[in-house]
Copies of this chain bind each other. A is one copy, B any other.
Amino acid sequence: MSRSSTLTNVTALVFDTYGTVVDWRASVAAEGRALAQKKRIDGVDWEAFADAWRAGYHPAMKKVRSGERPWTTNDVLQRERLDEIVAEFGIKGLSESDKDEFNRAWHRLKPWPDAVKGLKRLKRRYIIGPLSNGSFFLLANMAKHAGLPWDCIISADNFHHYKPDAEVYLGAVELFGGQADRVMLVAAHNYDLEQARRHGMKTGFVLRPTE
Contacts and interface: CB of A to CB of B under 8 A. Distances in A.
Number of identical protomers: 2
Interface stretch (A41-49, A61-69, A82-90, A148-156): A148-156
Interface stretch (A17-25, A114-122, A172-180, A189-197): A172-180
Contacts of A152: 136, 139-140, 150, 152-153
A12 interface: yes
Please tell me the size bucket of the interface on A: 20 to 34
Contacts of A151: 140, 143-144, 150, 153
A175 B157 contact: yes
Interface residues of chain A: helix, strand, loop or mixed (majority):
helix
A12 B127 contact: no
Given A127-B141, A153-B152, A153-B153, A136 B175 contact: yes
Contact of A177 (B75, B127, B174): B75
A57 interface: no
A137 interface: yes
A136 B174 CA distance: 9
Kindly list the 7 A-B residue pairs having the minimum CB-CB distance in the complex, ordered from nearest: A152-B153, A136-B175, A137-B177, A127-B140, A137-B176, A140-B152, A158-B158
